[in-house]
Structure formats: C-alpha cells, structure tokens
Structure 1
Amino acid sequence: MTTHPHRHLLWVAAVSAACCTAATACGAPAPDGALALPALDVVTEIDDLDHPWDVVAAPDGTLLTGERSGRFVVKHPDGSTAVLAADLPDLVVHHELGLMGIALATDFDTTRTLYTCHTHAAGEVTDIRVQSWTADAQWTALTPTGVLIDGLQLSDRGRHGGCRLLPHQDGTLWISTGDATQAAAPQDLHSLGGKVLRIDAATGSPPADNPFPDSAVYTLGHRNVQGLTVRPGTGDIYSVEQGTHRDDEVNRLVAGGNYGWKPDTGDGFYDESVPMTDLDRIPEAIEAVWSSGPATIATASGTFVTGAQWGDWDGALAVGVQKGRKVLFLRLDPTGAHVVAEAAPPELAGKYGRIRTVAAQPDGSLLVTTDNGDGDQVLRVTPAAGR
C-alpha cells in the first residue's frame, strides 16, 4: 500500500486553521489568518419524511424530494405540502437502494422534464436505471416519458448503488454508479459499475466526444460515487465518493481518468482492504483532491456554495456526511487540485443526524436532506446576516 504523508499534513494544517472552537466563535473574525465560517440559520422546509435521498428546487420555488420507498413529496411556494403521484410499480427497496437521485433538466422551466435514478425489478431483470418524467404545471403528478439508461448493476446485498444525477448545460446528463460490490466492475470498461457516466440527456446515447468510443463511461475505478457537482467559474466536475473503512474521497474528474479502485484479487473475491486509490497496482491512477484519511466519515454528496454572505467560504465545496453527522466545508486552492482549509459549522454538526444531500441554491442558501429514517427533514441553511 502506498501512503501519502503530504495529505495528512495538509489535513492537519487545514483543521487547525479553519475549525470553529470555543475560543473562536463562528462568524467572528478569526485570529492568525484563519478562515471564519459565518453563523448559520437553519429552518425546516419539509418534515416527517423517511430517508429522503435528494432534493431539488424548481424555478417557481416548489421543492421536490423523494423517499427511498418511492414516495415523492412537494412543498409549494404557499407553504403547503403534498404527495406527488408517480408510478414506480417495479421499484426495489433494499438497504441503500430504492428511489435515489432526482434532478431537474436544465430547461425544466420550458419542458417540465426531470430525471430519477432508481432500482428496478421486472421478472428476472433487476437493475438500476435512469428515468425521465414530465411534471404537470400544478405539481400534482409525474408522467414517465422514457428510460434513458438501464442495466446499471444492482447488488443483492443492497450496497453501492451510486445514483447521483448531474444535468449539464451542454445537453448531457452525468450519472454516478457504484460497483455493486462486484470485484471486477470498477476496472472493466464493459461494465457500467464503479463509473461516472455521461449520456445525451434527450436520447440516453453516449456523446461522440466521450473518451471511450460508443461508451457512456467517462471515468472508471470508482467504488461508490455519491456526489457530482460543477465548480463555478471553472466548469470542472468533482465527485464525492465513499471509502471502505477509510479514504472517503473528493475527486476532480478528467475524461477517461482512472481513480484507482481495484478490489479484484483475481478470483472474484471483493477485497475491501485495498487502498481506494491503488497506485501500486494502477500507477496511472489519479490521486484524490481530498481524502478523509485513516477513518471513513461516509461522504454522501457535494455542492459548491456561492455568494458574498459565505465570506471566506464563498466558492467552497460543501459535503454531506452520514457517519460523521455533519456538513463538511472544503476550500480548494485556485487550481482546484488541493484542499487548503476545512471546517464543519456547529449549527449542523450532530444536531440533525446523518446528512445525505446538500444542494446549493442560486440565492446562496443550502438545501439539506437528513438520512435517519422516520422523522427525516429537508432543511434550508442560510448564512445569518450581521452575525
């Protein structure tokens, strides 16, 4: 196993510089050049949910979330909530799997198109697939309009489904997949498991400029990518990936890049003791921008916050954390290749349990879904003015 001591030193320096302590209140000037987090206001937008995976905000202000069980819930601009009718008769709900990613098309305001990623079973066919839908103007029902891609691997143990969706302004749809605990999948270009995929959002076909001919695969060598997001001002796409007992990762995606996960011992055994980025066996593997190091915190999503109200953290990557029960803020250097500071605001640390999704909004606020089971919430987090 190859170790990378410079990562640990960077992490230690960042924590000492950026974390709020009893002596340095969040929102107050920090000593010695440390970056101060703003104080945050947290309000509940939707409650009484059960494992909501994702949340999106429509141009008219409507919020949409979906529970793992397949129930869609909307909150209208007038504050009322309702269950949105949608037919998912063949949904498989098992452990980590069920209804997962939700995303609005980039032209949603004119087409009313949205996408979901979910598990599916019909007869002997079981898979994970991406479905397109049309939402009616009153937000009462979703009408299915087609399956964009299917055949994504599904684990019989209910693990590693990936399933984050990222519509792009160039007309493509990016899809994260897990390896479904299939040992050979992450390094096999004939498998869609352990990959980030890029397809045409209208047809589901691979774009001609994808790195591998006639393939939806954009990057490979992943374990379980849970987050996809674009860094503002650069166009760079970052993934957030869950590690084994260590090494959760943030990666900057490069066309055709191999991110080094190879749990295959050659006999089909799924070996989770190997490094997440295995440079010994895959020398060309691309190293992570950030790693959790010797312990996993279960990173589950990522989004870049923007706006002057975030102060020193304007442009930082916010990461939803399940096991660590917090939102982690990572400030990247101008090149986007390294994390120079990290912090976890106390308003969100441990108070709401497991955090699944963080989704930055144009007004600078942050939508957050909790992932505890019965009683989950959609929260809105906003830097507090004047504090």
Structure 2
Amino acid sequence: MLGGVRSTRVLLLVTAVLLSGCGGTGDLPGGQEDKGATDVPDGAAATAPPLPALRVETVLDGLDHPWDVAQAPDGTLLVDERGGGLTAVLPDGTARELDADLGDLFADGETGLMGLTLDPAFADNRRLYTCQGVEEDGGVEIQVVAWTVDPGWTRATRVADPLVGDIPVNERSGRHGGCRVRFAPDGALLVGTGDNAVGSNPQDRGTLAGKVLRVDAATGGPAPGNPFADDPDPVTRLLLSYGHRNVQGIAVRPGSGQVFTVEQGTDRDDEVDLSVPGGNYGYDPDGADGGYDESVPMTDLDLPGAVPAVWSSGDPTIATCGADFVSGPGWGGYDGVLLVGVLKDTGLLALRLDDAGQLVEQFRVPELEGTYGRIRTPLLGTDGALYVTTDNGGGDDLLLRIRPVG
C-alpha cells in the first residue's frame, strides 16, 4: 500500500438521506436500557432542537480496517489502515497513498497502525502523530511516532521514532492494544492505551498499559502539570489517569476543556468517562492466580479514587470505539452531542451531556443504524462535516462524509 495512486478521483456517492424527523430518543438494540432518555435533568433533552436529517456520502472505498482519520487545514483528509498504509484524499477528490516506512509494523489482532492525529500547528510544521505496533530489535511494543508530510501529500517521514516508546503489547494476540491519540486544549498530546489483557497492568502505575498518557508533543516527556509529576518513576510521570481496560476513544468537548475517554469492556460494560487528572478508572482484573479475571466490574468503586463512568452500556456490551463532539451551524439537535462509534451493534451512539459532563440523554443516529456495519471512528472535520470510518474488513471499508440536510 505504499507509493501509488488509489484512483484519480473519488466520486462522492450519496448513499443515504433519511428524512426521519427523529425526536432524539429511542430503544437501544439488544434489549439495553436507554439510560437517561426517560429521566431528563432540568428539561435539557426536552428543549433540544429537533434532529436534522443527515446526508451520507462515500468519500473513499476499498479500505481495509481503516482505524483513524484527520483533516488538514487545507481540507485534505488523511486516513490510516490497521494493516499498514496512509492515504490522503485531496480537496479535489484525488486519493493518494503516501510513501511511508511501515516496514517495522506489528499488526496482529487488534493491534497495528491505530490512532492518528495532526499537530495543532500542522499548517506550519506539517507534523502528525501515529500510535502503532512496532517490531524491532527482536522485541514488540507499541509506540507513538511523529512524522512530517511533504506539501504535495506524497511522502510521510519519521522525525521522532519513537516519540513515546515502551508501551506494552500483547505479542501473542495483539489484544487490547489501544491506541488513540488526540490533543488536549492546552496542547498536550493525549494517548489512550490498552491493558494488553494482562491483569496487573491497569492498576500498576509503573507501566504505560491501561492508561491515558499526557505528553509533551515536542519531546515525548511528561507534559507540564501532570498529576504524578513528582513521582520518582519516569513512567508514572507520563500518566494522566490509570485503571483503564482498553481506551479506544478520546474526545475534547469544544469550549469546555473537558476530555472524555471511551473504553471497550467485558460482557459487563462499555464505558464513557470524564477525564480527571490522577483518576483511577477502577478496572482491576488481576486474578488471585495472576490471571486475567474479566468477571470483575469495569469500574470497581471500592478502589481508592475510583471515578464512576458518565455512561455505561450494561449487559450486553456494544463495543464502543472512537468518539467526537458535533458542533456548528446546521447540526440542530446534534449540536454539542458526543458521537461514539459502535462496532458490535453497528452504528453511532449519541450522548447528550450537561455542562458538568453528566449524561442527559442517549439515542442512536438513524442514518447509520445497521446500514454500514461496524463504525470505528467519527471525527468532526475542519470543514464542519462529520467523517466516519467503517471497520468491516475484507477491503470493503469506507470513509464516509456526513452533513445535515438543509
């Protein structure tokens, strides 16, 4: 997937316009309780504007497990694929596979080329960041790598290799590899990692597995103000929070400074959490025999400092993944809503939150419900459109563009 041109132009095919007149709540599949939809604090959901119908277009097809997407200030879209490869879609619709050295990629199971984000100063420094499995020197780990891309969108070059290393990986299966990267409002780079299905990792602050990291994007060291800045262990100094199972999504709420993380759970719960510096998110699967006990709660509130979830799926789980907030003119009742990709129940989950970040209402986006298969990542683009990657495999995956109608 290196070098070449996928196609000379990508047709924008209108694949769904549903004039649903959706009112904003509804039953979740699998018999799950629609938590928050019937108990609306302060009438917030009842007074929300109606939801507009959405137009869904295919921007790029023929992808295989696309994991993340970013949009540059010039409108170019960049998408990566878990098995390796970076593809740019230029503003005129031309799709171009970037020449990028991914020869050391470790791609197995849930691990591979995963999170992707652009530097806030990308227009000036052309810098981007990936989180990926790496095989080198006879060992395997997960690394955050910094790259620059040329102005013509033909080549990505490693410039910090790695920026952050020594993130453990499950070498046998690739299970619970994380790994989402996003920028906090203060410019720190946030990295959500998985626990690698090792029971001791989430509660062990001496490992980077099962954590949210907060790092300086220039150096890879601890960002100023980290909650464990004075800890003697340099690993612990990188942490924002711990006690996580598998952080698949990070979303920053516009204008608030709030950061939300999304985790995939066992059969008990998937979760959306409001980030608290130094918080323990309560996962402790370290069995008495040293095994991985998945029967424990996703958040054990008996653990010191345990932070309760903002939203949890209950049983059965729906396999939550990437997330982003929708905002801007024309989005009507979606304005300010957190959208979460759903892999198991195939769609987009919408969460309406109050100013404190607590759940007001949840519902599903009708235009994507059971239509495009597994949804991994929603991202609000710089152009105000929502971009979504599917994750069905077999070379049949899509990059979608979604806009409100009217």
CA–CA separation in structure 1 for the residues paired with 2:149 and 2:351: 35
Map of 1:317 onto structure 2: 338
Map of 1:275 onto structure 2: 297
Confirm whether residue 296 of structure 1 aligns to residue 317 of structure 2: yes
Map of 2:373 onto structure 1: 353
- Please list, as runs of the form range in 1=range in 2, the aligned pairs for 1:1-387 lying within 5 A after superposition: 12=34, 14-15=36-37, 36-146=50-160, 147-155=162-170, 156-213=172-229, 214=234, 215-280=237-302, 282-336=303-357, 338-373=358-393, 374-385=395-406
In 2 relative to 1, CA 17–335 (structure 1 residues): closer, same or farther, beyond 3 Å?
Answer: closer
Deviations 1:36-59 (A, max 9, x none): 322100001111000000011111
CA–CA separation in structure 2 for the residues paired with 1:126 and 1:32: 51
Structure 1 segments, 4+ long, off by >6 Å, are: none
**8 Å Cα contact 1:166/1:229 also seen in 2:** yes
In 2 relative to 1, CA 202–153 (structure 1 residues): closer, same or farther, beyond 3 Å?
Answer: same
Q: How many residues in Structure 1 have an aligned counterpart in Structure 2?
A: 362
CA–CA separation in structure 2 for the residues paired with 1:182 and 1:174: 22
Give the drift of 1:78: 1.3
In 2 relative to 1, CA 245–310 (structure 1 residues): closer, same or farther, beyond 3 Å?
Answer: same
* Partner amino acid, structure 2, of 1:227: G
TM-score, normalised with respect to structure 1: 0.90
Deviations 1:166-220 (A, max 9, x none): 1234332110000001110100010111000001000001124111134111100
Give the drift of 1:365: 1.6
Give the drift of 1:88: 1.2
CA–CA separation in structure 1 for the residues paired with 2:272 and 2:209: 18
What SS does the aligned partner of 2:330 have? helix
In 2 relative to 1, CA 16–38 (structure 1 residues): closer, same or farther, beyond 3 Å?
Answer: farther
State percent identity of aligned pairs: 51
Map of 2:10 onto structure 1: none
CA–CA separation in structure 2 for the residues paired with 1:284 and 1:174: 21
Give the drift of 1:283: 4.7
CA–CA separation in structure 1 for the residues paired with 2:131 and 2:260: 19
What SS does the aligned partner of 2:295 have? coil
TM-score, normalised with respect to structure 2: 0.86
What SS does the aligned partner of 2:123 have? helix
Map of 1:24 onto structure 2: none
CA–CA separation in structure 1 for the residues paired with 2:381 and 2:255: 16
CA–CA separation in structure 2 for the residues paired with 1:102 and 1:153: 19
What SS does the aligned partner of 1:312 have? helix
Give the drift of 1:353: 0.2
Give the drift of 1:366: 0.7
CA–CA separation in structure 2 for the residues paired with 1:54 and 1:132: 15
Query: Gaps spanning 5+ residues in structure 1: where?
Result: 1-9, 19-30
CA–CA separation in structure 2 for the residues paired with 1:372 and 1:189: 35
Give the drift of 1:32: 7.2
**RMSD of aligned residue pairs (Cα, Å):** 1.8
**8 Å Cα contact 2:185/2:252 also seen in 1:** no
CA–CA separation in structure 2 for the residues paired with 1:33 and 1:253: 27
Map of 2:29 onto structure 1: none
In 2 relative to 1, CA 261–62 (structure 1 residues): closer, same or farther, beyond 3 Å?
Answer: same
CA–CA separation in structure 1 for the residues paired with 2:123 and 2:354: 35
**8 Å Cα contact 1:37/1:345 also seen in 2:** no
CA–CA separation in structure 1 for the residues paired with 2:61 and 2:37: 33
